[in-house]
């Protein structure tokens, strides 16, 4: 990850996704004027990133995805219940709002296709990442080993302690056990690691997956955290756009 200033705001970018001329992406950070849970925050962000439409959905911690088509309008999407957006359309932003859940980006430079995911533990258990990968293959003929992935920032294995019922969902998965830490009767889930392992199992290239080191719970000056601050906390956003290049 690297930091980048845009119009005075501090944003992050994945290193592995920064070198493609056909992709633009930003991860916003904690700033009172850029709380993306609020309408004014979203409007301000839109101006900061160049006045292009930002497509978001009504995120519900599931595994449903939607496609932004050439004639789609952002207003019709904001109520759609889904946790991932896919597109080959150029010149518009896709966005996911987060505060502990993992923002994830899939970019296929060959097919010029893009997907953004909101991946919390519930969505990950339901395989939102696997559903979206499959959708990219079906819709855009993407090959998994070509897809460049960025995972996080989100709650880290240092802080994501869960009870036995939640840990059980992970224990039942093939890659669960190696991503569960145990400490004094607590279970610490490594969401980023679990996601990474499951993608590699599917045929994703581990060298093309970048995992953000940041923990949203630990780094309170930089990110919002639902677990630390409760429902009233703000949201930061991963947004990305395909653009004309080459």
Interface with Zn ion by CB under 5 A: which residues?
A: 156, 158-159, 215, 217-218
* Neighbour-count burial of 37, counting CB atoms closer than 10 A to its CB (0-12 exposed, 13-18 middle, 19+ buried): middle
Shortest spacing between CB 155 and Zn ion, in angstroms: 7
Shortest spacing between CB 218 and Zn ion, in angstroms: 3
Nearer Cβ to Zn ion, position 159 or 166? Answer: 159
Nearer Cβ to Zn ion, position 80 or 218? Answer: 218
Q: Would you say 56 and 96 are in contact if contact means Cβ atoms under 8 Å apart?
A: yes
Instruction: Give CA–CA dist 86/15, Å, rounded.
Output: 21
Shortest spacing between CB 156 and Zn ion, in angstroms: 4
Alpha helices in the chain (DSSP H): 39-48, 74-77, 121-125, 128-140, 164-171, 191-202, 226-229
Instruction: Give CA–CA dist 103/41, Å, rounded.
Output: 18
Shortest spacing between CB 191 and Zn ion, in angstroms: 11
Shortest spacing between CB 224 and Zn ion, in angstroms: 14
SS (H, E, C) 175-208: CCHHHEEEECCEEEECHHHHHHHHHHHHCCCHHH
What is the number of the residue whose Cβ is closest to Zn ion?
Answer: 215
* Neighbour-count burial of 159, counting CB atoms closer than 10 A to its CB (0-12 exposed, 13-18 middle, 19+ buried): middle
Cα 11 to chain centroid distance, Å, stands at: 15
Nearer Cβ to Zn ion, position 162 or 218? Answer: 218
């Amino acid at each position: 990850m690297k930091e980048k200033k845009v119009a005075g705001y501090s944003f992050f970018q994945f290193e592995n996704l920064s070198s493609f001329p056909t992709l633009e992406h930003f991860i916003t950070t904690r700033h009172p004027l850029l709380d993306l849970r609020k309408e004014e925050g979203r409007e301000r962000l839109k101006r900061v990133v160049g006045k292009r439409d930002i497509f978001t959905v009504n995120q519900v911690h599931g595994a449903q995805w939607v496609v932004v088509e050439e004639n789609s309008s952002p207003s019709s999407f904001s109520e759609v219940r889904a946790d991932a957006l896919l597109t080959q359309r150029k010149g518009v932003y896709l966005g996911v709002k987060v505060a502990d859940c993992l923002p994830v980006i899939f970019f296929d430079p060959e097919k010029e296709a893009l997907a953004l995911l909101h991946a919390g533990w519930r969505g990950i258990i339901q395989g939102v990442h696997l559903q979206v990968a499959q959708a990219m293959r079906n819709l855009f003929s993407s090959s998994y080993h070509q897809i460049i992935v960025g995972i996080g920032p989100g709650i880290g294995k240092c802080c994501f302690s869960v009870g036995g019922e939640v840990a059980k969902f992970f224990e039942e998965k093939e890659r669960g056990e190696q991503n569960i830490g145990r400490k004094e009767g607590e279970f610490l889930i490594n969401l980023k690691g679990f996601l990474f392992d499951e993608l590699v199992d599917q045929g994703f290239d581990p060298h093309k997956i970048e995992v953000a080191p940041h923990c949203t719970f630990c780094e309170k000056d930089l990110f919002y955290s639902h677990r630390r601050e409760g429902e009233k906390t703000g949201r930061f956003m991963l947004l990305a756009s395909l653009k004309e290049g080459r």
